[in-house]
Amino acid sequence: MIRVGVLGPVGSGKTTLIERMTEMLISFGFSVGIITNDVISQHDALTIYRKLVEEKKILPKENLIGIVTGGCPHTAIREDPSLNVMALNKLTSRKNFDFIFLESGGDNVMSTFSPRLADYTIFVLDTSAGDKYPGKGGLGIFESDLLIINKIDLAEYVGANLKKMKEDAIKVRNGKPFTFISLKTGEGLEDLIKTFLGDVGLDRETESEN
């Protein structure tokens, strides 16, 4: 089982990414669980429930847990991960999973996951705040296993220069992977899933499926 921590600023596309990746992984035959963190609601768990459990009927409802952290999202995934540890234990006591996604509440560029929660981390930035990130840096941007720069479809509307973002990403990532995508149009999604499965050592299994 691989626990995948997804983090990044508010609204950058974490929940949408988990939905898309879950759909693809399930279509390859993997079993997927999801834990969401929200500060004062179960909004993201409900969004995923409506989309993947009710509408698409691909995710069993017992594969999904929504945590209400009640406080700083950063604390709940690093300093005191107990709520998430309990949720992980609850999911894994129900069945075996190939992947469990944990979505952090939207936070800042310094957040990272406790190694007790995640084996692999994805940091999601987006272009809608302009092109100053990833160049400004931050622990999550440096240390995540995969950096995703989402919403490339919006770049032209906010004057975000993708070439600059790419050059900055090369500099700050120090050889670690990053990828540009639009979860709205689907651009870059196949490359993303290939990079991800390659990184976690499961690329061959999907090749044999195709």
Ligand X SMILES: Nc1nc2c(ncn2[C@@H]2O[C@H](COP(=O)(O)OP(=O)(O)OP(=O)(O)O)[C@@H](O)[C@H]2O)c(=O)[nH]1
- Which does residue 182 bind out of ligand X, Mg ion, none, counting CB within 5 to 8 angstroms by kind? ligand X
For residues 35 and 100, the answer to whether their CB atoms sit within 8 Å is yes
Question: What is the Cα–Cα distance from 145 to 25, expressed in whole angstroms?
Answer: 18
Question: What is the Cα–Cα distance from 132 to 81, expressed in whole angstroms?
Answer: 30
Q: Is 78 in the site for ligand X (CB under 6 A)?
A: no
Number of H helices, E strands in the chain: 9, 7
Going through the chain in order, the beta strands assigned E by DSSP cover: 2-7, 32-38, 64-68, 99-103, 120-126, 146-150, 178-180
- Taking CA atoms, 108 is separated from 12, 75, 95, 141, 207, in Å, by 11, 12, 33, 10, 36
Q: Which residue lies nearer to Mg ion by CB, 3 or 14?
A: 14
Residue nearest to ligand X according to CB distances in the complex: 106
Pick the piece of the chain touching ligand X (CB under 6 A) from 13-21, 23-31, 113-121, 165-173: 13-21
For residues 181 and 152, the answer to whether their CB atoms sit within 8 Å is yes
Where in 82-111 is the site for ligand X (CB under 6 A)?
106
Contacting ligand X (CB under 6 A), which of 10, 40, 110, 158? 10
Question: What is the Cα–Cα distance from 36 to 135, expressed in whole angstroms?
Answer: 28
Contacting ligand X (CB under 6 A), which of 2, 11, 92, 137? 11
The contact mask relative to ligand X for 21-60 (x = CB under 6 A, - = no) is -----------------------x----------------
User: Interface residues with Mg ion (CB under 5 A)?
Assistant: 14-15, 44
Q: Work out how close the CB of 17 gets to Mg ion at its nearest, in angstroms, rounded to a whole number.
A: 9
Q: Work out how close the CB of 210 gets to Mg ion at its nearest, in angstroms, rounded to a whole number.
A: 30
Pick the piece of the chain touching ligand X (CB under 6 A) from 87-95, 147-155, 170-178, 198-206: 147-155
Which residues are at the interface with ligand X (CB under 6 A)?
10-16, 44, 106, 150-151, 153-154, 182-184
